[in-house]
Amino acid sequence: MRFSELLDRLAYPAGELIRRSFERVGFGDVDELVERSPRDFLAKLAFLLNGEQEAKFFVYMVAKILEREHGVLIDADRWLEAFERGDAGFVRDWLGRLDTLLR
C-alpha cells in the first residue's frame, strides 16, 4: 500500500493533501520518499508542518489510528522510530502488510 493511500484510508483527503504539498514545494513523490528514506520524509514533513514535533506526532498518530480504529497490532513507538532512523525495510514491510490487513 502506498503511504498516501494509507493516509486517505485513515483520514481522507490527508494523503492527497500531503502528496500535493510535497509536489508543490518540490519535494517530489511522497510515496517514493517514504519507501526509500523515511527519515528524509520525516524531515521534509517537519519543514511543511513548521516543526519536528508536529511531524513526529503526525507519523505516530498514523500508527495509533491503525491500532485503535482498525485493530492493527502495530507498535506506534517502533513505527515512529523506523521513520526517525530511516528504517525503510520496516516501513515497506508494514505498508505491504497493511495492503492486506485493511482490505
Q: What digits encode the pLDDT tens for the residues 26-79? A: 999 999 999 999 999 999 999 999 999 999 999 999 999 999 999 999 999 999
Q: Is residue 32 part of a domain?
A: yes
Q: Which domain holds residue 9?
A: 3-98
By C-alpha distance, which of 27, 44, 28, 51 is closest to 83? Answer: 44
Would the pLDDT of 17 be above 90? yes
Q: What is the pTM of this model?
A: 0.95
Q: Is residue 53 part of a domain?
A: yes
Q: Is residue 75 part of a domain?
A: yes
Q: Is residue 103 part of a domain?
A: no
| Encoded amino acid at 46, one letter | A
Q: Is residue 9 part of a domain?
A: yes
The residues, any chain, with a CB within 8 Å of residue 66's CB and separated by 6 or more, are: 10, 72, 74, 98
Q: Is residue 68 part of a domain?
A: yes
Q: In total, how many domains does the chain have?
A: 1
| Encoded amino acid at 2, one letter | R
